[in-house]
Amino acid sequence: MVDLLLIRGNIFTPIDDGKPKTLKRMDELASIEDGAIAVKDGVIVDIGKTDDLFKKHRDTKNIVDANFRAVLPGFVDPHTHALFVGTREKEFDMRLAGKSYMEILNAGGGILNSVKRLRSATIEQLRDELKKRIKTFFEYGTTTLEVKSGYGLDFENEIKMLTAIALTKKETPMDIAATFIGAHAIPEEFKDKKEEYVKLVVERMIPYIAEHKLAEFVDVFCEEGVYTPEETLRIIEAGLKHSLKAKIHADEIASIGCSELALKTKLSSCDHLLKIKESGIEALKQSGTMATLLPITAFSLKEEFADGRRLVDSGVGVALATDFNPGSSYSESMPFAITLAVLNMGLTPREAIVASTLNSAYVLGREKLVGSLEVGKQADFVLLKENSYLFIPYHAGVNPIYAVYKRGERVFS
Ligand code: NIG
Ligand code: FE
């Protein structure tokens, strides 16, 4: 007997053919009108027409009628800074008055402002902050989430952040991928001795984090005035050597050769790419590195959006994420990211859905578990209020999510 039978849904899903979706395949969603999904032990065991599945599984005690609402895979958000203490709305106001994001950071605000507050918090406080935010992520349809460190910027506090993430994982149904980004800014104590801090990251933090399995990924803010491509490469190589996977913040504010690193090392993804040049696109394409685009950040910083259309047309696998953080993107909403990607980055609605589900599952290395609604994958799905995925970008600014299931259990409705 199955544990759950979802009936009468309009199912829309990418079909996984063993690699990230690119080019025309990115614009394809399979659909089952009046469809059903059978779930056992948190996994999809059958999917098809309601009539067929009902005949096979009618003895189940738990039947959910989707009432012809759209059913999609839960969103996979592969880039967030969801663990922080305190918000930065005053800096938002300063940016509206004309100060730039980098000016605020260079004056000791921005990320460094969040660092001060994080350092005085306990692990339990951090866990509670993250748990509270996970509730909001579920409400907006996210069922798999990447969370970065990067507001500790010293050994003790980076480990504290990653430990808080590990603690949270045990207390939530959310699937969390932890990323170590000790190189997220230059800590004030190391202002004039960045090399010493890079060494600390490479020689002490990465080995410890890998040994204690506190992170799956290493990340670097590769940016003008922050970490150079050379420093980024050293940090990434140290992570890879210790069996972490790697991703970078690249070409967000200036183009200084960060996405080009994709040709020199093994990156799961280059993220942001607002300022990517032809050489960067070529590097992603040749190396098969994914591009994770963060439209809410461009929107919030009032920057020109990354050219998603050009990246897709160049054959790069594109994923979408929120970049949720208290500075450049204070939004947990993947539906909002999809809306902006469709209206401002030239993605089709289908491409934006694929980018937020299967392609983002590939970025996190979870494509065998999540990202599409197929037999053998986790029963992570969302029901929309309306009958089509088109309502996500079309009903802009309004939460389109009606209910959310994680491994077959309802986590929001
Ligand atoms: O992806 N650019 C670096 N990191 C984040 C912002 C973090 C913050 O401002 O707190 C980003 O935009
Ligand atoms: Fe980020």
Name the residue ranges covered by the structural domains of the chain.
4-73+372-412, 76-363
**pLDDT of residue 48 exceeding 90:** yes
pLDDT digit string (tens) for 150-197? 999 999 999 999 999 999 999 999 999 999 999 999 999 999 999 999
Q: Is 110 in the pocket of ligand 1 (CB under 6 A)?
A: yes
Spatial neighbors of 41 by CB under 8 A, at least 6 apart, are 3, 408
- To the question of whether residue 269 is assigned a binding role by annotation, the answer is no
Please check if 323 is assigned to a binding site.
yes
Asked if residue 111 has pLDDT above 90, the reply is: yes
For residue 274, how far is its CA from the centre of ligand 1 (angstroms)?
Answer: 14
Residue 299 confidence (pLDDT) above 90: yes
Q: Predicted confidence band at 343 (pLDDT cuts at 50, 70, 90)?
A: very high
CA distance 303 to 318: 19
Q: Kindly indicate whether the domain formed by 76-363 is annotated with CATH number 3.20.20.140.
A: yes
Q: Which atom of ligand 1 is nearest to the CA of 253?
A: 2
Indicate the CATH number for domain 4-73+372-412: 2.30.40.10
Does an H or E element contain 393, and which?
helix 391-394
Rounded Cα distance between 267 and 222, Å, is: 13
Q: What CA–CA distances, in Å, run from 263 to 197, 241, 309?
A: 26, 17, 22
Q: Quote the pLDDT of residue 52.
A: 98
What is the predicted pLDDT for the residue at 284? 98
- Tell which atom from ligand 1 comes closest to the C-alpha of 272: 1
Over residues 390-397, the mean pLDDT reads 97
- Per cent of the chain over pLDDT 70 is 100
* Ligand 1 atom closest to residue 271's alpha carbon, by position in its atom list: 1
Ligand 1 atom closest to 101 (CA): 9
Q: Is 81 in the pocket of ligand 1 (CB under 6 A)?
A: yes
What tokens does 22 get? 């690119």
36 Cα–ligand 1 center, Å = 40
Give CA–CA dist 374/37, Å, rounded. Answer: 9
- 249, 325, 329, 331, best to mutate for ligand 1 pocket (most atoms within 8 Å of CB): 325
Q: What number is the average pLDDT over the span 102-118?
A: 93
Ion ligand 2 neighbours, Cβ < 5 Å: 323
Interface ipTM: 0.97
Give me the amino acid identity at 82: A
Determine the average pLDDT of the residues in 347-362.
Answer: 98
| Distance of CA 78 from the midpoint of ligand 1 (Å) | 14
pTM for this predicted structure: 0.98
Bridge partners (DSSP) of residue 10 are 70
Among the atoms of ligand 1, which is closest to the Cα of residue 84? Answer: 10
What amino acid occupies position 280? G
In the block, tokens 């594109």 appear at 318
| Residue spans of beta strands (DSSP E) within 234-286 | 245-250, 269-272
Query: Binding residue per annotation — 88?
Result: yes
Q: Give the tokens for residue 367.
A: 């494509």
pLDDT surpassing 90 at residue 366: yes
Residue 315 has pLDDT above 90, yes or no: yes
110 is in an annotated binding site: no
Q: Report the pLDDT averaged over residues 81-91.
A: 97
Q: Is 151 annotated as a binding residue?
A: yes
User: How sure is the predictor about 58, in pLDDT bands with cuts at 50, 70 and 90?
Assistant: confident
**Rounded mean pLDDT of the chain?**
97
Question: Which residue has a Cα nearest atom 2 of ligand 1?
Answer: 221
- Of 52, 44, 37, 46, nearest to 6 by C-alpha is 37
244: phi then psi, degrees, rounded to nearest 5: -85, 155
Q: What is the pLDDT of residue 125?
A: 98
Rounded Cα–Cα distance for residues 95 and 103 (Å): 9
Separation of CA 63 and ligand 2 centre (Å)? 40
Examine domains 4-73+372-412 and 76-363 and report if their fold is the same: no
